[in-house]
Amino acid sequence: MQLLTVKFNQIASAIDATNAQIAALQAKLSELQEHQQQLLSVEQACQSALAQVGTALAMLNHVDPAEILTFKAAVEAQFGTDAIAFLEPTTPAPAEQIEPEPNEPTAPEPATTADTNPPIDVEATPEPAAPSEPEPAPEPDIEQALANMPLPTLRSLAKSKKVDARGTAANITRRLKAIVTPADLRAIW
């Protein structure tokens, strides 16, 4: 009978060790799911900010194209100053829960009409262009250009931009569309 008792204790120990591993994996899963939700919220905020920058550029181009470089410098200054210094990345605390609690992604709240200025109707009168100035080439549609790229080219571009190059073309395109510039596309083609 001694043999069965030893075997039983070994199996009980293996079960305990496996249960401990399961609990640790569930805690890690909870942390990863929470981080994924945070990333989704950040991505939505970034997409919204990019759309707002695009709208501002279009309006500025319509009203005073000469000020586009000033706007660009102001945007770049946001990345080069101490404005970001106080935003320290959070390190996830060890999760104590076994079951993750689902979190709904939060989107930025839309601005109310009291927060925004009413649109100003401006009729621009074009100035005659100097005959020696060539017209700038139209900017390519980045998302369309990425969608038309072959998978190996997308992966190469993703690696050059230090973005995860694994997955389908649609997934890689989704990761790249916010960070690829028209200059990057011109360099490829």
Confidence of residue 2 (pLDDT cuts 50, 70, 90): confident
CA dihedral 59, 63, 67, 71 (to 10 degrees): -20
Count other C-beta atoms under 10 Å from residue 165's C-beta. Answer: 19
For residue 107, tell me if it sits in a domain: no
The residue ranking higher by pLDDT, 12 or 106, is: 12
Q: Which domain holds residue 154?
A: 139-189
Helix 68-80 vs helix 2-63: crossing angle, to nearest 10: 150
More confident residue, 123 or 58: 58
Residue 185 lies in a domain: yes
5 neighbors 11 (Cβ within 8 angstroms): no
Give the sign of the dihedral formed by CA 167, CA 171, CA 175, CA 176. Answer: positive
Banded model confidence at residue 6, pLDDT cuts 50, 70, 90: confident
Domain assignment present for residue 161? The answer is: yes
Q: Considering the domain boundaries, does residue 55 fall inside one?
A: no
pLDDT in tens, 65-106: 888 888 888 888 777 655 455 555 555 555 555 555 556 555
Give the pLDDT confidence of 167-184 residue by residue, as tens digits: 999 999 999 888 988 888
Residue with tokens 């038309």: 148
Question: Can you tell me the distance from the alpha carbon of 129 to that of 48, in angstroms, rounded to the nearest whole number?
Answer: 35
User: Is residue 170 a part of any domain in this protein?
Assistant: yes
| pLDDT tens-place string over residues 112-166 | 555 555 555 556 566 655 556 656 656 668 888 888 889 999 898 999 999 899 9
Is residue 25 in some structural domain? no
| pTM of the shown model | 0.37
Q: Of residues 153 and 3, which shows the higher confidence score? A: 153
Helix (H) or strand (E) holding 26: helix 2-63
Round to whole Å and give the CA distance between 185 and 169. Answer: 16
Q: For residue 149, is it within any domain?
A: yes
> Any residues with CB less than 8 A from the CB of 63 and at least 6 apart, and which?
122, 124
**Residue for token digits 């076994």?**
98
Q: In total, how many domains does the chain have?
A: 1
- Name the strand (E) or helix (H) holding 80: helix 68-80
Distance separating alpha carbons of residues 14 and 10, to the nearest angstrom: 6
Domain assignment present for residue 171? The answer is yes
